[in-house]
Structure 1
């Protein structure tokens, strides 16, 4: 019989990739009717914002108990608890998800507080307990080991003990800006564009346009989703307008889900006069961690 569980990891090179991977993982669980849980330790604001940018309304799942946001103090206490107690907590929550009518349980979170366990590093032991607990059950666990918070030797070891590693290859990730390809001539920008990465952004766009001109991509519009682009400096905005103005007559550039502040900057830089540039403003209503916890009625049991 196939094992219904999965125990995978991701090794983000940036917080943008961290939020991207976690949002996709949790969103998949919501769509499949699973209970999803995020163990916070000062990263939930970014994850909630990314889910909002991905078009996921978490308010209903928070109210119904499908989405559980575990506060930081609970996360830190669990990671410092004896390992047998941790196993019991996992068992309880897995069974509760099924008893409550959900298709299974899916959980992830920020676990680096486990590096502070008395007596030294014990995350490999924690991971073994987790793997034993989920095996054979409708449970999916995503472990996040990013270079900012974990030593390289631990990351290398954790890669060897997980079923698989998730995380696509970006067109660019300089820790400030991440550009991924959603499809042919369809890009997503997350983070910030400034003088340091502006040339790289122009090169990425140029490569896509070159493939379109050569007929390798059958499309007449380059689409850039800017829902996760928090900041763009004036020079970058001017560069985007100029890039659109320089397009061949048969091609267009469409910016989608643009934040109002970025849209105003583009407008001041001449976007409204660029005949081959379309700008669509995106509506956002992200929850802060405190609001999400209040909506859910506090910490899960």
Structure 2
């Protein structure tokens, strides 16, 4: 178990993409108020993507706590939409569409004269049987480099502990480099984290049957990433079986950039598998231990 807390600054991409957890309506309201009030004071446009929360409750809560939400909505500085109008606007959740939406939204906010864009997205839909919800982890991993490293955007991903299983939440939390869980939280068996400075991802823990979905999400992120030079750091990985390695190799071969994925810190067992099966090196550039 460990503790993580929200950093005080918002200077880097890691600081601007934050996992925010809460267990009560009052906690939710406290996070909402702090985020929205700061954005309005900085002349930023603020958007809220509601899932289980009625949009009217968002504006009413702000009003009751001293924010003139009605005026902010009237002048276009505060916009409250629903998950079905944003994340789930198509027939299924599509990370590529959401990446494009963020770029369009930042451009639109600038065109209207706002100093920047900040947004809150309720992510509880990721725990329901919704088409494409299994790609949520892939999305959280990709947007660090494809969105926040490129755009003047601040976004808090709202995760309600009452609506997501502990195992789901543990993995999704770890996909953010900044988190608000200022209390004990479980370390998942396997987690995937965006690299802070280099484009790429890091696997931490051990691959097993119960964590194969994490490998699948990382593989999907590798395959979809438009970044030319991508690194996969395995230095904190205790075990990687041949099936998981094959998934990563297949993803590396499908990359649109056409460049190999740099494999960093691969365990000795991975090197042995590549010696036995040279085809597993295709699409990878393996750093010598």
TM-score, scaled to structure 1 = 0.50
Paired residue for 2:63? 52
Structure 2 distance, partners of 1:157, 1:55, is: 35
Shift of 1:66: 1.0
Give 3-state SS (helix, strand or coil) of 2:43's partner.
coil
Give 3-state SS (helix, strand or coil) of 1:37's partner.
strand
Paired residue for 1:107? 119
Paired residue for 2:179? 165
Shift of 1:62: 0.8
Distance 1:11 1:4, change over 3 A: closer
Contact 2:121 2:158 in 1 (8 A): yes
Shift of 1:5: 6.2
Paired residue for 2:27? 17
Give 3-state SS (helix, strand or coil) of 2:89's partner.
helix
Given the alignment of the two structures, is residue 123 of structure 1 paired with residue 136 of structure 2, yes or no? yes
Paired residue for 2:73? 62
Q: Which of the pair has the greater relative contact order for Cα pairs under 8 Å at 6+ separation?
A: 1
Distance 1:15 1:66, change over 3 A: same
Structure 2 gaps, min length 5? 1-10, 184-289
Structure 1 distance, partners of 2:176, 2:126, is: 18
Q: Kindly name which structure, 1 or 2, has the bigger radius of gyration based on alpha carbons.
A: 1
Structure 2 distance, partners of 1:164, 1:16, is: 22
Report 1:1-301 matches (<5 A).
6-43=16-53, 44-75=55-86, 77-78=88-89, 80-115=92-127, 116-118=129-131, 121-131=134-144, 132-166=146-180
Paired residue for 1:298? none
The farther-off stretch of 51-60 and 38-47 is: 38-47
Structure 2 distance, partners of 1:42, 1:160, is: 23
Structure 1 distance, partners of 2:27, 2:131, is: 30
CA RMSD of superposed structures (Å): 2.5
Distance 1:112 1:3, change over 3 A: closer
Distance 1:28 1:74, change over 3 A: same
Per-residue CA deviations over 1:99-133 (Å, capped at 9, x if unaligned) read 22111110013222234343662221121243231
Contact 1:106 1:139 in 2 (8 A): yes
Contact 1:5 1:137 in 2 (8 A): no
Runs of 4 or more above 6 Å deviation: none
Paired residue for 1:297? none
Contact 1:78 1:86 in 2 (8 A): no
Shift of 1:15: 2.0
TM-score, scaled to structure 2 = 0.52
Per-residue CA deviations over 1:234-257 (Å, capped at 9, x if unaligned) read xxxxxxxxxxxxxxxxxxxxxxxx
